[in-house]
């Protein structure tokens, strides 16, 4: 095990008291809104996502938060950008039961092609 403990959590997320924080690498101005998969980066494991929205006045940030919530079958109102407003690497807080959300995330990732 390394100092970061990444081996214990293969998911691009961590549980918090409010729910889960999901690390997302965003590509704005794409042809469609979609979650593409999981990728290991220098910052750790991230969920790769694309949105049609442009990175202007927070439009892409709002779009990726909504995309992640909908992809997990959760209401958009539970998702909020908590860091990465001007970066491609975003952290999205999804409020709710952390255990249930982590299980949903694992199942959705396993179902990706």
Within a domain: residue 104? no
Within a domain: residue 76? yes
Within a domain: residue 101? no
pLDDT reading at 33 higher than 50: yes
Please report, for the domain that includes residue 75, its CATH number.
3.30.1200.10
Look up the domain containing 54 and give its range: 6-96
Domain count, the chain: 1
Integer Cα distance of 23 and 46 in angstroms: 5
Nearest partner of 11 among 42, 49, 37, 50, judged by Cα? 37
Q: What integer is the mean pLDDT of 39-51? A: 95
Question: pLDDT, tens digit, for every residue of 47-98?
Answer: 999 999 999 999 999 999 999 999 999 999 999 999 999 999 999 999 999 9
pLDDT reading at 1 higher than 70: no
Within a domain: residue 107? no
What's the gap between Cα 79 and its chain centre? Answer: 10
Residue 10 has a pLDDT of: 87
* pTM score: 0.90
Residue 2 exposure: Cα atoms within 13 Å on the Cβ side = 5
């Amino acid at each position: 095990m390394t100092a970061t403990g990444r081996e214990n959590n293969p998911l691009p997320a961590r549980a918090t008291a409010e729910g889960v924080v999901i690390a997302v690498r965003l590509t704005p101005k794409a042809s469609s809104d979609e979650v593409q998969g999981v990728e290991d980066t220098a910052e750790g494991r991230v969920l790769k996502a694309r949105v049609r929205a442009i990175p202007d006045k927070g439009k892409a940030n709002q779009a990726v938060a909504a995309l992640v919530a909908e992809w997990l079958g959760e209401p958009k109102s539970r998702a909020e950008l908590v860091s990465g407003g001007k970066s491609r690497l975003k952290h999205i807080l999804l409020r709710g039961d952390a255990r249930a959300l982590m299980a949903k995330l694992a199942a959705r990732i396993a179902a990706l092609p």
